[in-house]
Chains A and B, each alone.
Chain A
């Protein structure tokens, strides 16, 4: 096991909780932590406590007035109408006590991961409490209050002066991070997600390529609903390889929403654990090929917190620490501990069975359409490379 990786964790992540019926449930981080501990894949010395992000750090991305509004909301002192203007008190982001502190901890967690990697104390770091990619400058959106990933990228720029490649494999478009750096050529954002035709937030089209100096540094691959492993992995692999080669980042930050799985209740993609093995594996390779290993991974969406997220997120850590050759059964102690609390039967194995879902009609067409989408998304890179080849 590699020792130079850190896992940022605290039970306090569970304080980020809207209410009992809300799909966003940080118990999934604890479930992941517990799974890794149960299989002895996570040592005490690899676990790091998160710090709370300071207001100045939040203000790297967020408006002061918004931060104050979140604080007031958490104290129960914000009027309903004003709260709604900040996207607070909606169905997606209801107000809960001390919501500022809980949200600032998630940002601090990702900043802790950043500092470990960029100060050279760790090669890779995992902050599963983070990945709240929908948060906007002055507005909560899509279960996200503060955008830890956007804050972290700005923090990396200001403190370390490095060029960041942001890779977002959540089933929803990483809109908050994209818009935060839309005109910045020193941050490259790549999001692969289910098409916004039906799915929230609706953006993330191929033609969203950036603006002004940042034009050409924003990549989007919206895959069709019902996309399966093979097509998804193909799109992800081609795109990430070519984008990394084009941008040559100093560090990569990956957002690992685990909601593209067939079981996820909020989305319509049909990928399985196969995809969640490939995502961190390729990110890991890219980090070593281009960034001297510097890789920070965060969590994100993931709404089947029992059957999907613990396995998918554990695989990120296992990949980071070169222990990803797990297969067969999940640890019995973990299954025994959590099955009683789970409303669904827990999967017994790391990998999904071949017959997880009935065959998808029109698979060939979906695959063909996704391949076309990849071609469109990468067109600027490919045509540039072609020109360069011709002139040499």
Chain B
């Protein structure tokens, strides 16, 4: 999946000459946390986050003092070393970027112009879509030896029941000789599949509560 498929458009922006007060209003009204700052050509020249705004907002004990400060331009508080992405970037890379740089938003730039934005919220939403958790289905975990071909063998057993697979995840078990296959299957009655898998010698974790046998 690429960024183009998950980025938000149009982007709410301000220009460097807009006031801090305007930024505060945008953040509050639209419940957003990041405002890219662009110039007349729509080039990203900075970014203002809700944290930057909080830093310059008066304390709640001094709410009516120094209001003139809020009339200063956002160019005085914006961060200018902005990390940007491209519409063709991979979504996984964006996740790594967020983690590595401890940031939570990525303006997306094409031909040097701002075309979209991806936030942590969008990434999380995408992850939910990828796991298939937004469609009705049952969730089955299968513990398999860490060998090639296990996924297709397990999937073949499910296919025999003509049940659609909404998503598959694969993660290592605590014991490195094993892996856990997670299937989200579109049925309310996975008992048949579970019995087939168990009869074929697989360990099915459903549900998987430590200390409780299923």
Contact = CB atoms under 8 A, between A and B. Distances in A.
Given A142-B136, A225-B207, A268 B214 contact: yes
Given A175-B136, A198-B139, A202-B136, A266 B189 contact: yes
Given A23-B189, A134-B188, A266-B189, A201 B209 contact: no
Contacts of B140: 198
Contacts of A200: 136-138, 187-188, 190
A175 B135 CA distance: 10
Interface string A172-205: 1001000000000000000000001111111100
B137 A91 contact: no
Contacts of A226: 209, 212
The B interface, classified by DSSP as helix, strand, loop or mixed, is loop
Contact of A362 (B139, B190, B212): B212
A92 B188 contact: yes
Interface stretch (B5-13, B110-118, B161-169): B161-169
Given A90-B164, A91-B162, A362-B209, A266 B191 contact: yes
Contacts of A224: 209
Nearest to B161: A91
A143 interface: yes
Contacts of B136: 134, 141-142, 175, 200-203
- Leading 4 A-B pairs by shortest Cβ distance: A201-B136, A200-B188, A142-B188, A198-B207
A265 interface: yes
A343 interface: no
A173 to B, nearest CB: 9
Contacts of B214: 268
B110 to A, nearest CB: 32
Contacts of A266: 188-189, 191
Nearest to A134: B136
The A interface, classified by DSSP as helix, strand, loop or mixed, is loop
Contacts of A141: 136, 188
A266 B210 CA distance: 20
Interface in A78-100: 90-92
A201 B188 contact: yes
B162 to A, nearest CB: 6
Contact of B187 (A91, A225, A361): A91
Nearest to B163: A91
Contact of A202 (B138, B162, B189, B208): B138
A1 interface: no
A196 B138 CA distance: 8
A316 to B, nearest CB: 23
Interface of A: 23, 90-92, 134, 141-143, 172, 175, 196-203, 224-226, 265-266, 268, 360-362
Nearest to A205: B133
Contacts of A92: 186-189
Nearest to A360: B212
Interface in B67-126: none
A143 B188 contact: yes
Contacts of B134: 203
B184 A202 contact: yes
A202 B137 contact: yes
Contacts of B209: 224-226, 362
Contacts of B202: none
A196 B132 CA distance: 12
B128 to A, nearest CB: 10
Contacts of B210: 362
Contacts of B139: 196-199, 202
Contacts of B163: 90-91
Contacts of A23: 189, 191
A226 B191 CA distance: 17
Nearest to B192: A91
A183 B139 CA distance: 28
A362 B134 CA distance: 30
Question: Of A172, A196, A200, which is in contact with the most chain B CB atoms at under 10 Å from its CB?
Answer: A200
Contacts of A202: 133, 135-139, 184
A277 to B, nearest CB: 26
B175 to A, nearest CB: 21
A361 B138 contact: no
B1 to A, nearest CB: 21
Contacts of A197: 139, 207
Contacts of A196: 133, 139
B211 interface: yes
Nearest to B141: A198
Nearest to B131: A202
A361 B206 contact: no
6 contacts: A134-B136, A199-B139, A203-B134, A203-B136, A265-B191, A361-B211
